[in-house]
Structure 1
Amino acid sequence: MALAGVGLTLAVMVTAWVASLGPLPLQEARAVSTTIVDRHGKLLRAYAMADGRWRLPVNATTDVDPTYLKLLFAYEDRRFHSHAGVDPLALGRAALQLVTRGHIVSGGSTITMQLARLMEPRRQRSISAKLRQIARAIEIERQMSKGQILDLYLAMAPFGGNLEGVRAASIAYFGKEPKRLSLSEAALLVALPQSPENRRLDRYPNVARAARDRVLDRMVEDGVVSEADAASAEAIPVPRLRKPMPVLAPHSADNAMLSVKNNPIIALTLDAGLQQTLETLAHDRAATLGPNISVAILAVDNASGEVLARVGSPDYFDDRRAGQVDMTRAVRSPGSTLKPFIYGLAFEDGFVHPESLIDDRPIRFGSYAPENFDMTFQGTVPVRKALQMSLNVPAIALLDRVGASRLSSRLKQAGANLELPKDEAPGLAMGLGGVGITLQDLVQLYSGLARLGDVKPLREIQNQHAGAGEPQRLLDQVAAWQVGNVLLGTPPPENGVHNRIAFKTGTSYGYRDAWSIGFDGRITIGVWVGRPDGAPAPGIVGRTAAAPILFDAFARTGKLPAALPKPPKGTLIASNAKLPLPLRRYRPIGELVRTDGERAPHIQFPLDGSRIDASGGAGASSVAMPVKVAGGVLPITMLVNGVSVGELDNRRQRLIDSPGPGFTRLTVIDAKGAADTVVVRIQ
């Protein structure tokens, strides 16, 4: 009876003592460094914890070499998977060693008990501390699975200095993830946590090597490792210096850290292999271009809009090149890189075709007189050649017809942010770079050409902005294909292959920015070269500075350029001689074609660029829209957005059904092939 009372009292005391320990500090123990990984889970960059420690999340099943785990269990905790947190046999062995040798030889601690000690560090080894570990170990086993316990231990185990966990140690000492370790490396990682500060490789490499060899000798004694393998492993020297943590895609990682909160692992859409390749390319090319010149590269997947690589600068830590400034997101003058979209709208409006002829000659638009880059004029050239040669006068002539405001609104509608000088409206100068835009937005627009006119918003952080990636219309399919087809024939730089990549170059005023944006059927890549501070860089032009980098970037993707889409249904593919008469030669508004003394047709109503309310008022269905034409030889055919809706009457008038809100292209063609086109906005 007395013994029962004593037992009950002891039980109550033990229960009260355990309760006094408080809850397990699991939240603090599970805190890890934020890691940024690529689309395949490969580490791009890690950020130290607030107190400077490196502790990377780890999964024993997928992140750690089985050889290391085999040595760890054999050396530290043979019965890890069977005990309940405490191994009585190991404790008995430790107690016997203490009695027979007079000092502690081994602690008898299980991995779970070691985890308990890491959660609640105690500097002194004592019986009370050991009892506390035992109690906590049992508690841990009740609350966590074996896999969770092992993962947490592998993340928290100390390896000297501010390194915690097997991943941080493997990266710092071996420069690689612990997925594939040699026997020597695995044994070293088993040995270091026993006395992490006394065995620091960067301070006491000989001590660390001796500890590693003792682990290997013990494994030979226990039959885990053969003598030959152990001897080979012991012959390998240990590292003596720490390697830096990986810093791939630093600008993307910084942006992800700002965008995603309280998430230990942030997955990006980047491909680490391509990212590393393009970072090396940017670094090497910047070194040859000059000490103050920076290079930025952005690669995106056309189908998904996912960013595959982002190089914001050639060296993140180069202050001279403002390396920490992400030049893919910097607003700069685009030079001639907006010209393809001017031509695209002209193709879409139907007043010009890639094989049409256009004049490149001195001309004035009010007080504005554009000149070509080489200060010469080519005379009459095909529109195709005008775009491929990036002639300024034809581009401005077409922009004058298309309308700068319409170009601006179309680009903004497709997701590009354009920055104009304060209090200025879009003007003809934007066709030659008189507007601000980022490399990111340019690449997004060009990827829309590869998608036949649909622009998909770029996405770089996985599982973010779900449902917000609806494509936006940039051009109709035929116009987008025609632009891509023209750019595909642009003469490449010396290191390029003809007709493989559709691309455009650009150079901003004063040699401040050199650009080259290109696409194939799979990806779009953009390159910017210049000084981050905006200072001129004489001699830095798009064709000689940026285009070679672009073609090299495509070559280094490791894949042959993919074919562009086939021409959409309804695409007019013909030589100049076989084009309809109005399309054979571009003529500015007011310069109407005359046929046999007859005046060419001219749409009097609606006016080009006008807005028309065709809703019929609140609650009413859409009403017919009148079209009135002057001149032309009957019969005159009416087309709405390229589709015939019949002929005009003898008074050269017709009522057409409203095609719905948005921009609508109205075209009339008379019996002699003369035509006129207007674009109106129906609301």
Structure 2
Amino acid sequence: MKLKYKLVKTIFLKLYSKIKQKILNHKKKSIVSLVLLVLYYFSLPFQLFENRYSTVIESAEGQLLGAKIASDGQWRFPENDTISEKFKKCIVAFEDQHFYQHFGFNPVSIVHAIQENRKAGRVVRGGSTLTQQVIRLHRNGKKRSYFEKALELILATRLEFRHSKDKILQLYASHAPYGSNVVGIEMASWKYFGLQPHQLSWAETATLAVLPNAPSLIYPGKNQEKLLKKRNRLLKKLFAENVIDKETYELSLQETLPQKPFELPKIAPHLVEKVAKEHRGEKVKTTIQASLQQRTNEIVNQYYQVYKQNQVYNMAVIVIDVKTNNIISYVGNTPTEKQHQKDVDIIEAPRSTGSILKPYLYASMLDDGDLLPETLVADVPTQISGYTPQNFNLTYDGAVPASRALARSLNIPSVLMLQEYSVNKFYEQLQKLKLRNINRPPSNYGLSLILGGAESNLWDITKAYAYMSRTNSYYALSRGKYRKEEMAQLNYEFENKIDFGSESAQKPIFGAAPIWQTFNAMKEVNRPQGDEAWRFYDSSLEIAWKTGTSFGSRDAWAVGVTKDYVVGVWVGNATGEGRPLLTGVDTAAPVLFDVFQFLPRSKWFEEPHKDLEEVMVCEKSGHLATEFCPSKKQFIAKRAKKTTACPYHKMVHLDQTLRFRVNSSCELVDKIVSKPWFVLPPVMEWYYKSKNVDYLNLPPFREDCVNAQQDKFMDFIYPKANTKVILAKDFNGKVQPAIFKVALSNSSAELFWYVDQKYLGTTKMFHEMPVFATNGFHIITVVDSNGNEIRRKVEFESE
């Protein structure tokens, strides 16, 4: 080995010495040679083609979903990494059968071409190789001349040095002209056959191989006879060279030429536009599942045909894979007309949120320990600083468990919960959830924030729900851990894998237990009409879902969440026009459930044991139990132990008949019966007992009892404290009274009404009184027959 090494080294040193000596002896020639070598090396730009390309998107399976024409008006797909073997064999056989032997140009072909062209007196044959044709395409627009031809030869050899033969074929296939504004085999394959290049038959591939030689032949008419002859000659050559067998050859001859251009697939047109803004001129493989996308398109089209009868023209659906945060279906709008804004991508368009934010508030209050799932929340006529929220059905329950208030999407309990939690705190939570369109100061929204006073979009809303689902699942899987970047951006790029960050003991936004309890409440939402008995079917879908309807019936929302998927739906008019009967539950929810029917079934969310603690909870009020409450065991979030104990149960002392309250002044102590009693404030009680027949009014004190402290059993329903009452006029200009209303535990009692000590009248059973007053402040007084009274200061103003 050492002898061989020494021998090689000796030969190399001798050769180096000779070259060095020749350079020293011929310095000028050496310098010229070096300059020419450098010029040759840099003669070809590193980026051979700087054309503008179409934006192309594919599904996760590689199926074409759609494309957007290049900015120069050409249908030119981005360069392909591979081309089909059929096309390789066809194009080499037709254009350059010695392609794999020559080094950029073929001297024999050039000589033969010159001779035949001279003999014919015109150009009847070209001598260019495929490599030269790539250079010609690269130098498009250059005037043909002998100098240009010579330059092509030089550049062709340089191209051969740079790229493999297969790469050169790829460049040719991607930039060859195919008639009109069609460039490249991939676009030509879709345009003329409606297929991908690898799906073409031998006859179809042969047609595309001969077409760049004379692109105008593709048009219907006499020219097609020439194209057919060219194609068949190529097929015959392939048969003669044993590339195809006799049966394939004979069948290929029977195939017809394309007659009518095909439309490109438009399976996800709005996603194409989105990708074009972010990856213009690129081919992007997306995370979209082609079969699901097509089914979603069909569902949207079916409902569009129905809803447009009510002049509702627009709809959007997005489906997210929770585990990866990948978008697997993206339908930005319906197939409506241009006059109805069919090109608007609703998925990222800001729209009034309606009630769709309520689960975020519920989860926030659970997470902060301000609420338990079944805590009673007031549902009574409410006016706060001139703001008067109303429930959708214009009724009141008096008091309702928070979870049921969420399931039924009651507006008044939600407003009162937000008032307790504070608008500023809730606004901060929404910023953590990255709802981009909620960007004005909190004071600009006020309490209407929870009822649609803000705008958001389907992208952000579903992203936040996906975060909640993924947080709960990961917490259960990791036995009590969170991830720092769980609130990640949605993803549509197949090659992009979302990093949810490292593990942490700290929750990023919501804890796992509040999320789990929120989803449990959302599962109880009433289904759309026709699916009310869903609980009774073993195959029923368990989905945490929420609807929303904006003021004026302009926006209908529905969002559904499982462990594996989030589906978001918006229905309405992109113009903002409201329509009767447009509601989340009746319009958007049916679309939601139809989409879920095509998704794999998911198990219900796992219980996050490490974030829960078992406590005793009052059965009726949902608060932490006191010694006076009938109680039950319930799991609550650990942070919720700081919530208040039940304020509605108290111990009362009754006589032996249990009909009257007593004290030691009127009953022997050993005969007093002590009993816990569920007592709501008067206004809550007034409405609650109408919906709960088992509610028992607190018994009155017996008449012979003295020094008995009377409980407050009477209160104003309307007006609220510090209210300005505006007295409106009718069509005749006559001032109309304001109707004041009082809630009373003992409905049979008689009430006496006064304004500034002036007697107005008496009410029995139904305690409502029409009130007139001059502009300014007045005192309203109501007195019962026992001398109990309530007062309210009110400002009156006439229109």
Q: Same fold (TM over 0.5)?
A: yes
**Contact kept? 1:481, 1:568, Cα under 8 Å:** no
Match of 1:567 among 594, 604, 608: 608
2:559 maps to amino acid: I
Distance 1:169 1:366 in 2: 67
- Match of 1:321? 340
Does the alignment pair 1:485 with 2:520?
A: yes
- Match of 1:528? 570
Match of 1:279 among 297, 305, 316: 297
- CA change 1:395–1:184 in 2 (3 A) is same
- CA change 1:46–1:538 in 2 (3 A) is same
Alpha-carbon deviations, 1:232-276, whole Å to 9, x = none?
122222221222334443433333333347x63445444444444
Distance 2:339 2:358 in 1: 33
Report how far residue 33 of structure 1 moved.
Answer: 0.6
Report how far residue 561 of structure 1 moved.
Answer: 3.5
- Match of 1:336? 355
- Match of 1:37? 57
Secondary structure class of the residue paired with 2:329: strand
Match of 1:181 among 184, 200, 217: 200
- Match of 2:720? none
- Match of 1:581? 625
Q: TM-score scaled by structure 2?
A: 0.65
- CA change 1:121–1:504 in 2 (3 A) is closer
Alpha-carbon deviations, 1:488-518, whole Å to 9, x = none?
2323335765442211011111101000011
Report how far residue 129 of structure 1 moved.
Answer: 6.0
**Contact kept? 1:32, 1:56, Cα under 8 Å:** no
Report how far residue 452 of structure 1 moved.
Answer: 3.4
**Contact kept? 1:415, 1:457, Cα under 8 Å:** no
Distance 2:210 2:105 in 1: 21
Q: 5 Å matches for 1:235-314?
A: 235-260=254-279, 264-290=282-308, 291-314=311-334
Does the alignment pair 1:387 with 2:410?
A: no
- CA change 1:235–1:562 in 2 (3 A) is farther
Report how far residue 334 of structure 1 moved.
Answer: 1.1
- Match of 1:457? 489
Q: 5 Å matches for 1:158-169?
A: 158-169=177-188
Moved more, 364-373 or 573-582: 573-582
**Contact kept? 2:512, 2:611, Cα under 8 Å:** no
Report how far residue 435 of structure 1 moved.
Answer: 1.6
- CA change 1:47–1:180 in 2 (3 A) is same
Q: 5 Å matches for 1:508-523?
A: 508-523=550-565
Distance 1:279 1:293 in 2: 15
2:488 maps to amino acid: K
RMSD: 4.0
Report how far residue 569 of structure 1 moved.
Answer: 2.1
- CA change 1:204–1:528 in 2 (3 A) is farther
Distance 1:59 1:422 in 2: 50
- CA change 1:400–1:128 in 2 (3 A) is closer
**Contact kept? 1:200, 1:208, Cα under 8 Å:** no
Alpha-carbon deviations, 1:463-489, whole Å to 9, x = none?
789879899833211101101122123
- Match of 1:634? none
Secondary structure class of the residue paired with 1:434: coil
In structure 1, runs of 5+ residues without a counterpart are: 1-8, 598-683
**Contact kept? 2:41, 2:158, Cα under 8 Å:** no
1:456 maps to amino acid: A
Q: What is the aligned length?
A: 582
**Contact kept? 1:408, 1:418, Cα under 8 Å:** no
1:486 maps to amino acid: A
Report how far residue 548 of structure 1 moved.
Answer: 0.9
Report how far residue 314 of structure 1 moved.
Answer: 1.4
- CA change 1:30–1:221 in 2 (3 A) is farther
**Contact kept? 2:313, 2:334, Cα under 8 Å:** no
**Contact kept? 2:268, 2:330, Cα under 8 Å:** yes
Q: TM-score scaled by structure 1?
A: 0.75
- Match of 2:367? 348
- CA change 1:561–1:173 in 2 (3 A) is farther
Percent of aligned pairs with the same residue? Answer: 28
Does the alignment pair 1:54 with 2:75?
A: yes
- CA change 1:271–1:248 in 2 (3 A) is same
Alpha-carbon deviations, 1:157-200, whole Å to 9, x = none?
11111111101101111222212211221111112112112333
Alpha-carbon deviations, 1:315-348, whole Å to 9, x = none?
3x83222122221222221111111122212322
Moved more, 482-491 or 375-384: 375-384
Alpha-carbon deviations, 1:510-538, whole Å to 9, x = none?
10100001111112111111111111111
Secondary structure class of the residue paired with 2:515: helix
1:507 maps to amino acid: T
Bigger CA radius of gyration: 2
- CA change 1:354–1:499 in 2 (3 A) is farther
Distance 1:96 1:60 in 2: 38
- Match of 1:611? none
- Match of 1:679? none
- CA change 1:122–1:139 in 2 (3 A) is same
**Contact kept? 2:375, 2:402, Cα under 8 Å:** yes
Secondary structure class of the residue paired with 2:272: helix
- Match of 2:447? 428
**Contact kept? 1:292, 1:321, Cα under 8 Å:** no
Secondary structure class of the residue paired with 1:535: coil
- CA change 1:34–1:545 in 2 (3 A) is same
In structure 2, runs of 5+ residues without a counterpart are: 1-28, 473-485, 535-539, 633-639, 653-799
- Match of 1:229? 248
Report how far residue 71 of structure 1 moved.
Answer: 1.9
1:149 maps to amino acid: I
- CA change 1:124–1:534 in 2 (3 A) is closer
Alpha-carbon deviations, 1:598-652, whole Å to 9, x = none?
xxxxxxxxxxxxxxxxxxxxxxxxxxxxxxxxxxxxxxxxxxxxxxxxxxxxxxx
- CA change 1:398–1:422 in 2 (3 A) is closer
- CA change 1:208–1:469 in 2 (3 A) is farther
- CA change 1:39–1:426 in 2 (3 A) is same
Alpha-carbon deviations, 1:8-32, whole Å to 9, x = none?
x9xx99x99x979993366462535
Distance 1:494 1:80 in 2: 69
**Contact kept? 1:516, 1:527, Cα under 8 Å:** yes
**Contact kept? 1:358, 1:381, Cα under 8 Å:** yes
- CA change 1:565–1:455 in 2 (3 A) is farther
Moved more, 195-204 or 150-159: 195-204
Secondary structure class of the residue paired with 2:217: coil
2:77 maps to amino acid: L
**Contact kept? 1:477, 1:568, Cα under 8 Å:** no
**Contact kept? 2:66, 2:269, Cα under 8 Å:** yes
Distance 1:183 1:463 in 2: 33
Secondary structure class of the residue paired with 1:159: coil
Distance 2:92 2:188 in 1: 18
Distance 1:182 1:465 in 2: 37
Distance 2:556 2:126 in 1: 66
1:324 maps to amino acid: D
**Contact kept? 1:199, 1:205, Cα under 8 Å:** yes
- CA change 1:427–1:102 in 2 (3 A) is closer
Secondary structure class of the residue paired with 2:590: helix
